[in-house]
Structure 1
Amino acid sequence: MRKSAGETLFDWANYLFLSAVALAMLYPFWHVLVRSVLPYEEAIRSAIHVFPTKVTFDAYKYVFTNGGLMRGVWISLFVTFAGTAYQLLITAMTSYALTIKALPGRNLIISMIVFTMFFGGGLIPYYLLIRSLHLVDNLLVMIVPAAISTFNMIVMKTFMDTLPKELEESAMMDGAGYFKIFVRLIMPLSVPVMATIGLFIAVGQWNNWMTAMLFLNKRELWPLALILRDILIDNNTELTRQTGYTSDSYLLGESIKMAVVIVSVIPIVAVYPFIQKYFVKGVMIGSLKG
């Protein structure tokens, strides 16, 4: 069918609008990338650079050779991988258990979990709890307390409720127990929602600087997110003093800041394309049905 003039005009208007939105979202990232590779003499000419006329990788060389920054990267990678696997397992097991209608006190347990979305004990009781568990200045504080998110659990439980119960009943007739059904049947069928929730958890773990700031007093335990906050928000001058540059210290420090931002973004950007095919399906089924 041929489109009318009005439909064609509407399509082009959509293309232009979405292109403008995409440009507005991509330009800040591009600006940071350009600033991270500009040499000193180019950076001082203007605050806005669409394309770099000259390129230097001194800032990235510093980032990848600085022991403190690379230690933060490895700590963030460990916390992200371990925390994502740990939270996914706990969330999946809890979600499946709450789909079993024969579970004693099922409705009460669900109500108690949902209650935590609206009311919390506060920061001081939470700090006292963490201290009593001897998790202060311990990397496990970034992983163990955040065992489950109520929102993630509700999304995953809603998805599992949509799975055919006949499959579970057939497995039980063949002698399978709940654990075997969960491992062999439920988890393979829940790959879309688990990939979606896994992305939510991984992004949260990778960007989690608040927990580290509250409970990790030793700088050698800081993840990259907290180091980045220290550089950008607190404007830590120790970073520029460590470079060994004097005349260009400010601009080199700015380039290092931008380079650290790029390095901190790359892992999440690199992971997303591999789970994009599951993302929309997992969100739509897990949040709209039920």
Structure 2
Amino acid sequence: MKQLSMGDRLFTFFAYTFLVLFTALILLPLLYIIITSFAPAKDYLTRGFFLIPSHWTLDAYQYLLHNPGFVQSFKNSIFITVIGTFINITVTSMMAYGLSESWIKGRSAVNFMILFTMLFSGGLVPTYLVVDSLHLIDTFWALWLPAAVAPFNVIVMRSFFASLPYELKESSRIDGCGEWRMFAKIILPLAKPAIATFTLFYMVGNWNTYFSAVIYLNDDSKWPLQVFLRQMLVINDERVGLLNEALYTYTPSARMAAILVSALPLLVIYPFLQKHFNKGMLVGSVKG
């Protein structure tokens, strides 16, 4: 084994020290949120900053579970994320596969329109007027349809589909396999890494829906979790606890618990997609 020089040892020591300190700076706020959520409310008010509560309690989580506004917004976020992600992946994969086939007429024009939307958007006011004219205000469709396709994801997935061997598709057609069946039985199974990657991207986007919900949803019973959290953490609007005419006062422990619960679903789902996600990060990187 090669003996390290003094300079290499010093570099290794400072590199590891820096990484440990940097990791601690990142983990400390998260650790503080977790600990505060299990601490009594009086600890936050009387002790200031602490890493060990006077005693551990689940009062904050029980408090949230009995809050009809929080429970309803959590259900709304799950519904928005599941249906929205399904729409996103379905439309993105179908559009990308169609655009990857050179024999499709008008493919260049559609590719140009997709690229154009990456550089220029319609703007907030025109988009709102379109959504309003379609009578989608105060419906979840106002969140799903305008964001049904991410142009960049379509372009990357199109490159992946275009990189598949032409002989594979041709042999399937010769054997009598139609386009829909080939897409469902052959193409999609080969695209599992890409689908898993973009599913995760779309899930994060749908779960963190905030601005669109503020713009299009006036009915607070349809608010997703992120809008509820904003009212709870920043404005502390009493309406968030008045959906069933019950007043809720949000203690620091309850706020920290709400933050932790809002991040939990994505932390639980990510490990199941990780093995495909690592492969999918290279999708479309070879052939553009």
TM-score, normalised relative to structure 2 = 0.91
Counterpart residue number, 1:4? 4
Q: Using a 3 Å threshold, how does the CA distance of structure 1 residues 243 and 10 change in structure 2: closer, same or farther?
A: farther
User: How far apart, in 1, do the equivalents of 2:100 and 2:74 lie?
Assistant: 38
Letter in 1 for 2:92: T
Pair 174,259 (structure 1): closer, same or farther in 2 beyond 3 Å: same
Are the counterparts in 2 of residues 62 and 243 from structure 1 also a CA contact under 8 Å? no
For residue 122 of structure 2, what is the aligned residue in structure 1? 121
Cα 1:46–1:276, aligned 2, differ >3 Å: closer, same or farther?
A: same
Alignment map for 1:115-264 (pairs within 5 Å):
115-237=116-238, 253-264=251-262
Structure 1 match to 2:24: 23
Q: Distance in 1 between matches of 2:104 and 2:10?
A: 57
Matched, 1:284 2:282: yes
Q: Is the 8 A contact 1:37 1:56 kept in 2?
A: yes
CA deviation digits over 1:181-214, x for unaligned, max 9?
A: 2111111011111111001100010010111111
Structure 1 counterpart SS, 2:121 = coil
User: Which residue does 2:263 correspond to in 1?
Assistant: 265
Q: Read off the aligned partner of 2:280 and give its amino acid letter.
A: G
- In structure 1, give the amino acid aligned to 2:165: P
Matching residue within 265, 271, 274 for 2:272: 274
Closer/same/farther in 2, CA of residues 142 and 166 from structure 1, 3 Å limit? same
Residue pair 1:42, 1:54 contacting (<8 A) in 2 also: no
Cα drift, residue 289 of structure 1: 4.3
Q: Kindly state the Cα deviation for residue 239 of structure 1 after the two structures are TM-superposed.
A: 5.8
- Counterpart CA distance in 2 for 1:141 and 1:166 is 42
**TM-aligned CA distance change 1:8 to 1:288, over 3 Å:** farther
1:60 aligns with 2:61: yes
The answer as to whether partners of 1:36 and 1:258 remain within 8 angstroms in 2 is yes
Gaps spanning 5+ residues in structure 2: where?
none
Sequence identity (%): 37
Helix, strand or coil: the match of 2:215? helix
Instruction: Decide which moves more: 194-203 or 271-280.
Output: 271-280
Residues 15, 130 of structure 1: alpha-carbon distance in 2 compared, 3 angstrom cutoff:
same
2:21, 2:123 → 1: CA distance?
42
What letter matches 2:254 in structure 1?
Answer: I
Stretch of structure 1 that moved more, 46-55 or 89-98: 46-55
Residue 74 (str. 1) matches residue 75 (str. 2)? yes
- Paired residue type of 1:128: L
Question: 1-side partners of 2:156 and 2:3: how far apart?
Answer: 40
Question: Does the CA-based 8 Å contact 2:40-2:57 persist in structure 1?
Answer: yes
- How far apart are the structure 2 equivalents of 1:56 and 1:211? 36
State whether residues 240 and 253 of structure 1, in contact with CA within 8 Å, keep that contact through their aligned partners in structure 2.
no
Following superposition, the deviation at residue 261 of structure 1 comes to 0.6
Distance 1:240 1:82, change over 3 A: closer
**Partner AA of 2:115 in structure 1:** V
> How many equivalent pairs are there?
284
In 2: Cα distance, 1:166 partner to 1:181 partner: 13
Aligned CA distance change for structure 1 residues 187 and 9 (closer, same or farther; 3 Å): farther
Determine the C-alpha separation between the residues in 2 that align with 1:240 and 1:147.
32
Tell me which amino acid in the other structure corresponds to 1:22.
Answer: T
Counterpart contact for 1:193–1:286, Cα < 8 Å: no
